[in-house]
Amino acid sequence: MRKFLINVNGTKYEVEVEEIDAKAAAAAKPAEAPKAAPAPAAPKAAGAGEKVTSPMPGNILSVLVKEGDTVKEGQQLMILEAMKMENEILAPCAGKVTSVAVAKGSTVESGSLLCTIA
């Protein structure tokens, strides 16, 4: 063991470091890499019509429409939280919602399909 005095932001710490030879270092097992998170479920197949996509990555706080609803242009469809701000996702056109590809609590990337309006 070797002792060292380390100064961090004006505070001195005494630490002990164990020396190992090259054979012992090679025999030591490296830490296992964390397992990847399971892939998210595939979104529903898109219906026919105009696709509404996410303008930025974030989390869906609420979905205000369901499949089969009739919407007006500019009507609020869902709320997307991104960077601690709530963003309204508005209907780009009037029509009927043919599919909703996300649910409350979903995480979306920029360009992800949210819903389709025909």
CA 36 – CA 12 distance, rounded (Å): 39
Does residue 74 sit within a domain?
A: yes
Does residue 90 sit within a domain?
A: yes
Does residue 87 sit within a domain?
A: yes
Q: Which domain holds residue 98?
A: 50-117
Does residue 85 sit within a domain?
A: yes
Does residue 62 sit within a domain?
A: yes
Q: How many domains does the chain have?
A: 1
The CATH number assigned to the domain holding 71 equals 2.40.50.100
Does residue 95 sit within a domain?
A: yes
Rg of the chain in Å (alpha carbons): 26
The ranges of the chain with pLDDT < 50 are 37-46
Q: Residue 35's pLDDT is what?
A: 55
Q: Residue 16's pLDDT is what?
A: 84
Does residue 29 sit within a domain?
A: no
- pTM for the predicted model, two decimal places: 0.59
Residue environment code for 37-48, b if the CB has 16+ CB neighbours within 10 A, otherwise e: eeeeeeeeeebe
Does residue 89 sit within a domain?
A: yes
Q: Is 49 left (phi over 0), alpha (psi -120 to 50) or beta?
A: left
Look at residues 95, 96, 93, 101 and name the one whose alpha carbon lies nearest to residue 63. 101
